[in-house]
Amino acid sequence: MTEKVCEVIITAPDAEWLAQFTRSLVEDRLCACGHNMTPIRTVYRWQGVVHDEAEARVALHTRRALVPEIISRTNREHPFEVPCVIALPITEGNPAYLRWILDETNPAAPPA
């Protein structure tokens, strides 16, 4: 079952925007849940300048097949030109929780 699920990390400059975005993904069954964490501190280089910023982070639990649509939606709606969206494998987990992720998400991968 673990080969069907993953965790998707997204960061954003605004915690409230990220919470609303997470809610829309859950409502549309693109993820079962999102664990929002704020604040986080992000240090990164962008266009030759090093930035040190407060941001928010969410860990989404979803089907691997839905990751392309999550990436596509994030790219359309996110305030950053190049948003952080990464998918990490889930190698082990509570079987009941993994089943819940599958039950709460769309079984068909929509077109990206």
Is residue 110 included in any domain, yes or no?
Answer: no
Q: In this structure, what CATH number is given to the domain that contains residue 85?
A: 3.30.70.120
In the predicted model, is pLDDT for residue 112 greater than 60? no
Is residue 109 included in any domain, yes or no?
Answer: no
In the predicted model, is pLDDT for residue 10 greater than 90? yes
Instruction: Note down the domain range covering 47.
Output: 2-104
CB atoms near residue 39 (< 10 Å): 11
Is residue 53 included in any domain, yes or no?
Answer: yes
Is residue 112 included in any domain, yes or no?
Answer: no
109 confidence band (pLDDT: 50, 70, 90): low
Domain count for the chain: 1
For residue 107, what pLDDT is reported? 86
* Mean pLDDT value across residues 10-25: 98
Q: What are phi and psi of 15, to 5 degrees?
A: -60, -40
Is residue 49 included in any domain, yes or no?
Answer: yes
Closest to 105 (Cα-Cα) out of 46, 38, 12, 26? 26
Is residue 43 included in any domain, yes or no?
Answer: yes
Distance in angstroms (rounded) separating the CA atoms of residues 79 and 12: 8
pLDDT digits (tens, 9 = 90+) for 35-87: 999 999 999 999 999 999 999 999 999 999 999 999 999 999 999 999 999 99
Is residue 40 included in any domain, yes or no?
Answer: yes
